[in-house]
Amino acid sequence: GAPAQVVAISRGPTITQFGVEPLFLESRGGVRTRVRVSKIASLADDLALALAAPRIRIQAPVPGHSYVGIEVPNDEMSRVALRDILEGEVFKNFRKPLAFALGRDVAGLPSIASIESMPHLLIAGTTGSGKSVCVNSILTCMLLYHTPDDLRVVLVDPKRVELTGYNGVPHLLGPVVVEMERVIGALQWITREMDKRYHLFAQAGSRNIVDYNAKMKLQGQKKLPFLMIVIDELADLMMIAPEETERTITRLAQLARATGIHMILATQRPSVDVVTGLIKANFPARIAFAVASNTDSRVILDQPGAERLLGRGDMLYQSPDAPAPVRLQGVFVSDGEIHKLVDYWRDQAGNTNPYVAAGGAPRETIPDNVPLKQAPLWEETKKINGDPLFDDAVAIVRKEGKGSVSMLQRRLRIGYTRASRLMDTMEDKKIVGPPEGATQMRQVLDYGDVPPPQGGESK
Ligand SMILES: Nc1ncnc2c1ncn2[C@@H]1O[C@H](COP(=O)(O)OP(=O)(O)O)[C@@H](O)[C@H]1O
Ligand SMILES: [Mg+2]
């Protein structure tokens, strides 16, 4: 056997950690030897069976303690609300730039990080493990605390579902990039922006962006915003152009910190051909959500463990300055919260912030002599005068012959405020009539080029 005693218990949102101290084994000769830590660690699967727990992770030993941590899933996971952390003392006293709430640890304490000090973040995990929720929570924190003067964002989302909802937010340097062919162009533009910033720093005699902005403030000049690039699915990019992607990302990663440029990469395929050694070496801050195997875990964290995570926001966070990864339950941000924030910024961009041109791309950040290849990235901005979903909304009501706010909410997966604004715009443009009856259904008045739906005039 392996005698041991429980000396500490901490209950977190997802797991409870039992701190177990090894006891002594007495051999026939009366010699007492301590149970080996590795012996306890090897019992993970037996313990899981005995407790009927899906997965148990054993941390041997827990850093900073003289015990082994046995992490047992709670029967019910409690959600970690973003707001509670943001309103707490820990966050308020956290002074680093580009701060965001990551989650809560096994003792329930909030964990806060700063992209600025990372300076780049790599996120991996299988589908459904919580990558997108994590990326959204980071973006939410950024949009909550930064104006477009402080922070600019470039979003890349080949799946077109996770990040396209941010279109129209004035922090975006261009519409969310959904076509892979344009990504390299966008990355190259950022590389040039980085070179440009180095130039500016040299002229001003500054070492980095903080230094430079402090100088500019003294002289009453404009400061440079931080620039954040988020790529949701690195694998897609590595498939199309592995060498170029690796080269550009590495170069950016190595030189970007001083210029205030930060990257967040997410992937569901943590294999060595996606997360290459070169990319890894430049991304010291990493988050592993649940992965399929300990090989995957090793690719991201350089050690096993992530294969024992439970999914849905259960993560191991390796901070660049910590000796070992920490287990956290990630914060959860609802779609509703994101919509509210996005709507708020869209309103700001449309009405009150003259600094931002229509569609959210400030003129001076659009490169002067963009090569043809990447021009479309910026061209698209013009269309987003108002809501980028407007055309889709029109197409839907025309196809149905009628429409209501709740129908738009459902079909476009958007919030009430946004759907009703789309509907009002359509009414203004005389595409639909006023709402009628209890269902608030509206008749289509203008079908454009679309033939009215079969079955004639809807009743
Ligand atoms: N931090 C979290 N807290 C609670 N539930 C979560 C959390 N992260 C993810 N989930 C749940 O898991 C689902 C999948 O998460 P998602 O981020 O879309 O996964 P991925 O992008 O890795 O495929 C979410 O819809 C949500 O229900
Ligand atoms: Mg996702």
Q: How many CA atoms lie within 13 A of 156 on its CB side?
A: 24
What is the token pair recorded at 427? 């009414």
Q: CA–CA separation, 403 vs 391, rounded Å?
A: 14
Tens digits of residue pLDDT in 154-191 = 999 988 888 988 988 889 988 888 888 888 888 888 99
Residue 125 near ligand 1, beta carbon < 6 Å: yes
Atom 27 of ligand 1, nearest CA residue: 312
Q: CA–CA separation, 172 vs 151, rounded Å?
A: 9
Q: Please check the confidence at residue 99 and state whether its pLDDT lies above 90.
A: yes
Instruction: Give mean pLDDT, residues 79-103.
Output: 91
Residue 128 near ligand 1, beta carbon < 6 Å: yes
Cβ atoms < 10 Å from Cβ of 195: 12
pLDDT at 174: 85
- Quickly list H helices, 312-389: 335-347, 375-379
Atom 5 of ligand 1, nearest CA residue: 312
Which ligand neighbours the alpha carbon of 233 most closely? 2
CA–centroid distance, residue 159 to ligand 2 (Å):
8
Pick from 251, 292, 287: nearest CA to 271? 292
What is the token pair recorded at 336? 């509703």
pLDDT at 381: 34
When the pLDDT of each residue in the chain is averaged and rounded to a whole number, the result is 85
Q: CA–CA separation, 98 vs 364, rounded Å?
A: 23
CA–centroid distance, residue 129 to ligand 1 (Å):
6
Q: Please check the confidence at residue 255 and state whether its pLDDT lies above 80.
A: yes
pLDDT at 439: 84
Topology of the domain comprising 389-459: Arc Repressor Mutant, subunit A (1.10.10)
Angstrom CA distances, 328 to 101, 112, 403, stand at: 11, 11, 44
Q: Please check the confidence at residue 118 and state whether its pLDDT lies above 90.
A: yes
Instruction: Give mean pLDDT, residues 254-264.
Output: 91
CA–centroid distance, residue 52 to ligand 1 (Å):
24
Highest mean pLDDT among 106-120, 174-188, 344-358, 376-390: 106-120
Q: Please check the confidence at residue 252 and state whether its pLDDT lies above 70.
A: yes
For the chain, the domains span: 4-73, 80-351, 389-459
Query: What is the band of 222 on the pLDDT scale with cuts at 50, 70, 90?
Result: confident
Q: Which of 87-91, 95-99, 454-458 has the lowest mean pLDDT?
A: 454-458
Q: Please check the confidence at residue 346 and state whether its pLDDT lies above 70.
A: yes
Residue 129 near ligand 1, beta carbon < 6 Å: yes
CATH 3.40.50.300 for domain 80-351: yes
Query: What is the band of 90 on the pLDDT scale with cuts at 50, 70, 90?
Result: very high
Q: Which of 366-370, 390-394, 413-417 has the lowest mean pLDDT?
A: 366-370
CA–centroid distance, residue 411 to ligand 2 (Å):
20
Which ligand neighbours the alpha carbon of 133 most closely? 1
pLDDT at 100: 96
Instruction: Give mean pLDDT, residues 410-415.
Output: 85
The string of DSSP letters for 395-417 reads: HHHHHHSEE-HHHHHHHHT--HH
> Token match 């079955």: residue?
455
b/e burial code for range 214-229 (CB count within 10 A of at least 16 → b): eebeeeeeebbbbbbb
pLDDT at 455: 57
For the CA of 129, the closest atom of ligand 1 is 22
Best substitution site from 133, 137, 335 to test ligand 1's pocket, by max atoms within 8 Å of Cβ?
133
Residue 270 near ligand 1, beta carbon < 6 Å: no
Residue 332 near ligand 1, beta carbon < 6 Å: yes
pLDDT at 453: 78
pLDDT at 290: 96
Residue 267 near ligand 1, beta carbon < 6 Å: no
What is the token pair recorded at 170? 């004035």
Topology of the domain comprising 4-73: Threonyl-tRNA Synthetase; Chain A, domain 2 (3.30.980)
Residue 104 near ligand 1, beta carbon < 6 Å: no
Q: Please check the confidence at residue 356 and state whether its pLDDT lies above 60.
A: no
Residues near 64 by Cβ (< 8 Å), separated by ≥ 6? none
Instruction: Give mean pLDDT, residues 385-408.
Output: 87
Tens digits of residue pLDDT in 266-321 = 999 999 999 999 999 999 999 999 999 999 999 999 999 999 999 999 999 999 99
Residues near 216 by Cβ (< 8 Å), separated by ≥ 6? 204, 222, 223, 224
Instruction: Give mean pLDDT, residues 420-435.
Output: 90
